[in-house]
Amino acid sequence: MKGDLEPIELCQKLDRACNGKTAENGGIYKTVCGNPGLPVYYFTDEDLIISEPQTFTPFPGLEKTYNGAHATYPEPDEAWSAKDAPPRYRSDLEAEDDGRRLIANLTYEAVPYKRQVQRLMRAAIEANRRFRSHQGVFTPAVKLLEPLDVIAWTSARNGYDNKRFQLGAVDDLNNVNQSAAFSELDPTDYDWSSDYELPTTTGPLGRVKPQPRVLGSFGVFPATVKDALGVDRRPAILAAWPYNNDDVAIRAIAFQVREAGKTAVMWRGRSDQPEEGEALLAPFSLLPDTDYEVKAKFVGGGNTELFAWSAWMPVRTPNVQLTAADILDGAIVAAKLADAAVEANKIMTGAVTELKLADRAVSDLKIKLAAIKTELIENQAVVAAALADVAVTQQKIATNAVSQLKIAADAVTEAKVAVDAITQGKIASNAVNELKLAAAAVTEAKVAVGAITQLKISTGAVGNAQLAALAVDAAKLATNAVTTTKIADDAITTPKLVTNAVVADKVAAGAITVQKLLVANLENPFAGAEVETTSPFVSLSARATWATISTSPSGKPTAMRINGAAAGANTAFNYPPKLAVTPGEEYYLEFYVRRDSAWDGSSGNSKLRIGDQNNSLLAGYAYGATDLASNTWVKRTAVFTVASGVTELNVTLVGDATAGNVWLTDFVWRKMASAELIVDGAIIASKVAALAISAANIQAGAITAGKIAADAVTATNIVAGTITSTELASNSVVAAKIAAGAIVAGKIAADAVTAANVVAGTLTAVELASNSIIAVKIAANAVTTAKIATNAVTANEIAAGTITATEIASSAITTVKLAAESITGAKIAANTIGANHIAANSITAKQLVIMDWENIVPNGQWITGDNAGWGSYPSGWNVVGAGARPPQRGDYILSTPGAADDRTMSTSGLDVPVQGGEQLNVQFDCAGSGSGASWEFRVRLVYYAAGSYLSGSTVTLSGTSVSWQRQNGTMSVPAAADRIQRIEITRAGGGSNNAFITNVVVRRKKGGELIVDGAISADHIRANAIETDKIILGGVTTTKLAASAVTLVTSAFASGLTNDFGPSGSSTVNVASASISVADADAVDITATFTIHNSQTTSVTSAETITTVEILRGSTVINTRTIVDSSYVYAGAGSARSALKPTVTIAFSDTGFSGSGTITYTVRCSSTYPDGAVRARDRYIRLMATKR
């Protein structure tokens, strides 16, 4: 303290140092400090003189309101100089102050302790927010009270319950009443926790010694030493480093090499030409195919402390072994070879010649199994003496190798002939005819693959009993072979149908009835899980990634992958929002999984795991090594019932493998709901479709002769298999009533064909060798039903396309006879499938999720390349190309620098009407950069009600990763809110390095209603209730629709040039065009893709290529873009660096067209190539007309 301070000034400085206050009372100075004391007086509204004036100030002016603080104090560690304390901000208070940051500037000259300063700053902010102050007149009873005393007030008028206040000025009035002013306080304002403490730093005193410079960007790579012919002769390591010609302190560069995992340095070296930027390290001590570590540092002229070693960089030397050139001719003699040293993998193909082998060197023990092949044996080399006993087995003899000349007299004895040795080659063509086959002689084991062709089967010979389970697959069915009479009731179930096989012309009129349709809620929250950019799942571990796959059940190019060899937690993926459920609900789960042969995950800890709201295990669906075969996709399905007491579900994908990979895709999670399809009494005569009523639907005896009108029973009205002999009166079926070809084998009762029609066979199964009956051995129509044993005909025995409608008996094809996905559209004759052929609930609708995909965030992807739509943004917040943070997320991203305090940008002019209770989905992508990355982003929606601020909702994502991470969140609009007035993006203070954000999306969530085709009959639908935008494309056939009831949504695709359009100066050319109908569409979304042709992936150019892209509607340019479009950029041999430019995709939505015809859209380009070369490209254009 300075000696010239006035006493009151000194008191004020001391008061600030201890949260103190000083008041003068009758010539006596009274000071209180720190936490306020207990109340000394309790009063109510009745203790105030109501005839005297009272005043109430609810809050001060803006100039006296603060929500943050800056402060300085003397820092002993910096020679008592004035130092800024860490600034303290309160974002919650700023929100209360309408987004304004109001700073109080404080000085603590009497406080040399940094922690005490922070406590004082916090207490000052909290105390300032106690806004309420009163003034009133008390009775003489309070005469003993003094300024700064604490009093407590209970007031019904103000809603106080022993609320504490601190007295200010107290005035003794002439009538002895006491006038007093008092302000609210809260003792918790002075509480302190270590969580409130902010980090501080102090600068050094005295001379600052510079830190040694570490060699950054130092890299090592595998290399070899080559001979004059360019052949690799010795392993080496290529070291590379950056060099600045202006750095005069660098004289040389030093290296050290050690074997990985060891601490001893095995080689030291130095190069006195650091300006070269690279050096080949090839000491003789380097071994091939070995892991090493290398570090380096620059060497200065005299100051040894100027530079420091880099980190140890790993490298593995190439596997360069000694070649023939390293060994003298004839140097390898027998004495040089150890016993058993010559292994199979050591011998070059063709190296073992007759000259290299000593006599009798090749013994039985020296020959690998199956090593002696035909081309390696000299003619007549295999003599009796060279063959061991029983050496010539069936597998060793080639076809037709054993001829009469090769067999010694009496060599073939009974013991030498194997069972079934006399096979098809021993049977003359057409030797096996109907007369030669005994009943049931043709068993599965006797029929060769593909032997039974169409010509070999009698009409109606293949019945139910003759077909093995799953024998009939798609390849065995001829086109239009499956007709109405060939299908047994309920034979066609969901697994038997190929996707899109059942189209309109395959279904008989009225065949799809209510009972055939499954009504369910098919909203799928797991949709898109296999694509990283759309996946609702998030990665929780380094072993959890999205990977490209060559095959998948649905043809999707990527899948979720769990890498067992990667380090990380077992919990790989998580579905972040908990699924809200109700006890007793049933859910259907489906996904596909595939593992490789190395995957060793256990069943207990490699599974899709479902936990309750506390993440306690409820169910698991395993994909351990023992649960599925390797290298094949396996479909997992389950029905999950919500247990009592469970309100939320946690869904995770876990894997405890230590090796191998497992891939997962095509997830389905949907709520199963029963539905009452038809209201009681709703079915009247006009509502019943043809063929809808089968025998199973009619009560026994209900249909009598009196119920049937003359000629009412036609073929259309009779379901296949409904009328049996019981229903027919004697002699009722006369020729006039029978359609041509109606009575086939399946319609004839047992024993109707007598023995006189059957000829006893002479050839039984005992005489037939397995697979001896092939197509050429069977006479046409020789194989009848009686000749085929039950289940003898499997898929292997039926040649592709063999079974036509003629060969199939009525109702022979039942569910168990059909292989999965065997019935394709081409196999089904028109109008074949009636209601009785379809098992209940087999045909389900495609799943529909109805949602408003409009993004209410203006320019949330920064597709314009700037901050358009955002009214204010902090300094340093810049829109940069997406290549700044690979892999690319769109065309542009927002770059933000790290800062000590929160930085926020807000939208400009946003005014989005909302309704209370609406659900909003928020999504955005974030990533960090550099070593030690640290960041946190918040997206906040600010709600208003009746023109005034109401509240805000925030979704936060923080991390330390440089990889892209996605956050999804759901917000509920407050009940009183009527609009979103602005959207804010905040990067929290305290982060390090630049961080990026993009793809900021806020969408409204809407409930989806799935309408199953056929489930709602006409009398259930209100007039004009079905609008055109409510009907899925292709979901309703033309016979079901009123005129103009369905809007058209369509798409188009075209590939463009695969050669480029020339070097600099060439004219602009069209590279891709496509036409699309815009009838009843209000937008056309255009996507153009520019990628590199395979033939040019190694092209070299000295700089980037600038391409101007134009999108035309007809001949009108509607959008222009400038992109970087170079196949390969090569910076020169001196730096040994190159950069591959990725595929570029641009998108544009056209809403400016008019009319309802067909419009042609074109993409055309012109480029500037710095080196004048021509580069080949692939171009594509995709169009989608949408009704929004």
Same domain, 780 and 877: no
Pick from 301, 302, 268: nearest CA to 285:
268
State pTM to two decimals.
Answer: 0.28
Average pLDDT over residues 323-347: 67
Helix axes 114-128, 7-17, angle to 10 degrees: 90
Output the pLDDT for position 567.
87
Same domain, 816 and 688: yes
Confidence of residue 334 (pLDDT cuts 50, 70, 90): low
Confidence of residue 93 (pLDDT cuts 50, 70, 90): very high
Instruction: For 961-977, write each residue's pLDDT tens digit.
Output: 899 999 999 999 999 99
Gap between the Cα atoms of 890 and 1000, Å rounded: 12
Q: Which residue has the higher pLDDT, 462 or 363?
A: 462
Q: Does pLDDT of 161 surpass 80?
A: yes
Output the pLDDT for position 1009.
35
Gap between the Cα atoms of 102 and 64, Å rounded: 9
Find the range with the poorest average confidence among 650-664, 790-804, 851-865, 973-987. 790-804
Output the pLDDT for position 1139.
46
Q: Does pLDDT of 1011 surpass 50?
A: no
Pick from 517, 514, 513: nearest CA to 719:
513
What share of the chain in percent tops pLDDT 90?
Answer: 41
Same domain, 70 and 137: yes
Instruction: For 571-586, write each residue's pLDDT tens digit.
Output: 989 998 889 999 999 9
Confidence of residue 389 (pLDDT cuts 50, 70, 90): low
CA dihedral 171, 172, 178, 181 (to 10 degrees): 10
Query: Is 1137 a member of any domain?
Result: yes
Confidence of residue 903 (pLDDT cuts 50, 70, 90): very high
Same domain, 590 and 617: yes
Gap between the Cα atoms of 221 and 237, Å rounded: 6
Same domain, 480 and 546: no
Confidence of residue 955 (pLDDT cuts 50, 70, 90): very high
Query: Is 768 a member of any domain?
Result: yes
Which residue, of 632, 648, 672, is where some domain finishes? 672
Gap between the Cα atoms of 44 and 940, Å rounded: 43
Average pLDDT over residues 312-329: 87
Mean residue pLDDT across the chain = 76
Confidence of residue 855 (pLDDT cuts 50, 70, 90): confident
What share of the chain in percent tops pLDDT 70?
Answer: 59
Query: Is 775 a member of any domain?
Result: yes
Output the pLDDT for position 579.
92
Q: Does pLDDT of 316 surpass 90?
A: yes
Report strand pairing: 68-75 vs 103-107. parallel
The residues, ordered by sequence, that sit 6+ positions from 407 with a Cβ below 8 Å of its Cβ are none
Please report, for the domain that includes residue 643, its CATH number: 2.60.120.260
Gap between the Cα atoms of 314 and 258, Å rounded: 10
Which residue, of 652, 672, 692, is where some domain finishes? 672
Instruction: For 1077-1106, write each residue's pLDDT tens digit.
Output: 888 788 888 888 877 666 665 566 655 667
Instruction: For 23-54, write each residue's pLDDT tens digit.
Output: 988 889 899 998 888 999 999 999 999 999 99
Instruction: For 475-530, write each residue's pLDDT tens digit.
Output: 666 666 666 566 666 566 555 655 555 554 565 555 555 444 444 465 899 999 99
Residues in the chain: 1188
Average pLDDT over residues 1127-1133: 46
Gap between the Cα atoms of 537 and 1122, Å rounded: 35
Confidence of residue 757 (pLDDT cuts 50, 70, 90): very low
Find the range with the poorest average confidence among 208-217, 393-402, 605-614, 709-718. 709-718
Instruction: For 618-643, write each residue's pLDDT tens digit.
Output: 999 999 999 999 999 999 999 999 99
Please report, for the domain that includes residue 284, its CATH number: 2.60.40.10
Q: Does pLDDT of 711 surpass 60?
A: no
Average pLDDT over residues 778-795: 61
Q: Does pLDDT of 1120 surpass 60?
A: yes
Query: Is 371 a member of any domain?
Result: no
Same domain, 459 and 484: yes
User: To which residue do tokens 């140097």 refer?
Assistant: 331
Same domain, 711 and 773: yes
Find the range with the poorest average confidence among 321-325, 576-580, 653-657, 670-674. 670-674
Which residue, of 612, 642, 672, is where some domain finishes? 672
Q: Which residue has the higher pLDDT, 257 or 497?
A: 257
Confidence of residue 359 (pLDDT cuts 50, 70, 90): low
Helix/strand/coil percentages in the chain, nearest 5: 15, 30, 55
Average pLDDT over residues 1156-1170: 79
Query: Is 311 a member of any domain?
Result: yes
Average pLDDT over residues 796-813: 60
Q: Which residue has the higher pLDDT, 247 or 402?
A: 247
Could you give the number of structural domains in the chain? 6
Same domain, 181 and 219: no
Average pLDDT over residues 138-153: 93
User: To which residue do tokens 């209201």 refer?
Assistant: 679
Q: Does pLDDT of 756 surpass 50?
A: no
Q: Does pLDDT of 57 surpass 70?
A: yes
Domain of residue 302 covers 214-323
User: 3-state DSSP call for residue 122?
Assistant: helix
Q: Does pLDDT of 591 surpass 60?
A: yes
Q: Which residue has the higher pLDDT, 379 or 938?
A: 938
Confidence of residue 675 (pLDDT cuts 50, 70, 90): very low
Confidence of residue 846 (pLDDT cuts 50, 70, 90): very low
Output the pLDDT for position 1013.
42
Q: Does pLDDT of 457 surpass 80?
A: no
Q: Does pLDDT of 838 surpass 50?
A: yes
Q: Which residue has the higher pLDDT, 852 or 648?
A: 648
Average pLDDT over residues 851-875: 82
Same domain, 1116 and 1179: yes
Q: Which residue has the higher pLDDT, 778 or 1028?
A: 778
Same domain, 143 and 262: no
Same domain, 181 and 237: no
Query: Is 825 a member of any domain?
Result: yes
Please report, for the domain that includes residue 1174, its CATH number: 2.60.120
Q: Of all helices (H) and strands (E), which one includes residue 125?
A: helix 114-128
Output the pLDDT for position 759.
42
Same domain, 239 and 110: no
Find the range with the poorest average confidence among 299-303, 746-750, 779-783, 996-1000. 746-750
In DSSP notation, 277-333 reads -EEEE--TTPPTT-EEEEEEEEEESS-TTSEE----EEEE-------GGGS-TT---
User: To which residue do tokens 């309070």 refer?
Assistant: 142
CA–CA distances in Å: residue 223 to residues 233, 269, 421: 11, 17, 61
Gap between the Cα atoms of 640 and 643, Å rounded: 9
Q: Does pLDDT of 147 surpass 70?
A: yes
Output the pLDDT for position 767.
42
Output the pLDDT for position 448.
65
Across 259-273, 858-872, 1115-1129, which has the greatest mean pLDDT?
Answer: 259-273
Greatest C-alpha distance within the chain: 152
Query: Is 1062 a member of any domain?
Result: yes
Gap between the Cα atoms of 1134 and 1140, Å rounded: 18
